[in-house]
Amino acid sequence: MKKIVIIGPESTGKSTLSKALAQHFNAPYVTEFAREYLEKLNRAYNKQDILNIAKAQVQLEDKISSKSDFLFLDTDLIVCKVWSEFKYGDCHPWILKQIEQRHYDHYLLCDIDLPWENDGMREHPQHRKEHFDIFMNELIKLKKPFSIVKGADRTKLSINILHSLFGS
């Protein structure tokens, strides 16, 4: 099973793309636990919450077993690292260790060419380009295979990328 992570700044179509790819390939996908966690939180999140989110995200991913060719992930721990470092200046060692140990076959990095939409959870429309660059630099630094996904038809582009990388 090939693990494909959809990653990128806020409001770039990651969740929509994850669901569409899972449907197209008849494969499971792992939702972004942070959204569910933060919706139930009755206060501003803190550094410990990012660690809690990271651990739960890993548990969700590890529960999935499938005979499908793909597993799509609507986020991974690189996102937790980027948010933690952006907001608090550092990242918990557990998250960093997990990033080193966990394997993914390809990342789809969503560009910021879609309009930003305020959904009540998103916080930094003015930092989308900066965050995109941070994500791209992280993927390069960590030597993770990735493709940039942009344009209105991210699904079709992503399907073509995955077919070219992994066959039909």
- Rounded to 10 degrees, what is the CA torsion of 146, 151, 157, 161? -20
pLDDT tens over the chain, length 168 residues: 999 999 999 888 899 999 999 999 999 999 999 888 888 988 888 899 999 999 999 999 998 877 889 999 999 999 999 989 999 999 999 999 999 999 999 999 999 998 776 665 546 667 789 999 999 999 999 999 999 999 989 999 999 999 999 986
pLDDT value at residue 124: 64
Interatomic CA distance for residues 156 and 145, integer angstroms: 19
pLDDT value at residue 167: 87
Enumerate residues 6+ apart whose C-beta is below 8 A from 3: 70, 71, 73, 103, 104, 105
Q: Are 110 and 7 spatial neighbours (Cβ–Cβ below 8 Å)?
A: yes
pLDDT value at residue 20: 97
Q: Are 144 and 9 spatial neighbours (Cβ–Cβ below 8 Å)?
A: no
pLDDT value at residue 67: 80
pTM of the model: 0.91
The secondary element (H helix, E strand) that includes residue 29 is strand 29-30
- Sorted by where each starts, the structural domains of the chain and their CATH numbers stand as 2-166 (3.40.50.300)
